[in-house]
């Protein structure tokens, strides 16, 4: 499990193959999905979960000013590297040791 931190106004491209088994949950702020045609998609708020496999979403955007955070969960044993180059930082697990 890792956390994607998106500064206000930031945009991160989504590579479908790298998100195929990942579930994202917005834990802070808001995240907007950018659709395959470049049009803005839905804005997801705190507590919203999303699965990108097969959706054609091409980017995640932070439409706000503050930092938005998305907790990304992948199946056990999967490589924990971050699948893209972005202003990302891994945060310690909540309630556990780091």
Over residues 60-80, the pLDDT tens digits come to 999 999 999 999 888 865 554
Cα pseudo-dihedral 72, 96, 78, 10, rounded to 10: 30
Q: Kindly list the strands in the beta sheet with 49-51, ordered across the sheet, starting from the edge strand earlier in the chain.
A: 2-6, 68-73, 23-28, 49-51
Spatial CA neighbour of 49 closest among 23, 75, 88, 73: 23
pLDDT score recorded for residue 98: 37
**Model pTM score:** 0.73
Mean pLDDT within 17-44: 91
């Amino acid at each position: 499990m890792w956390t994607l931190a998106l500064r206000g106004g930031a945009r991160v491209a989504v590579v479908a193959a790298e998100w195929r088994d990942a579930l994202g949950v917005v834990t802070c702020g808001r995240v907007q999905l950018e659709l395959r045609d470049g049009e803005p998609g839905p804005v997801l708020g705190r507590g919203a979960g999303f699965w990108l496999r097969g959706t054609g979403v091409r980017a995640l955007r932070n439409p706000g000013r503050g930092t938005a955070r998305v907790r990304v969960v992948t199946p056990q044993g999967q490589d924990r590297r971050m699948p893209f180059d972005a202003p990302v930082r891994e945060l310690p697990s909540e309630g556990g040791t780091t």
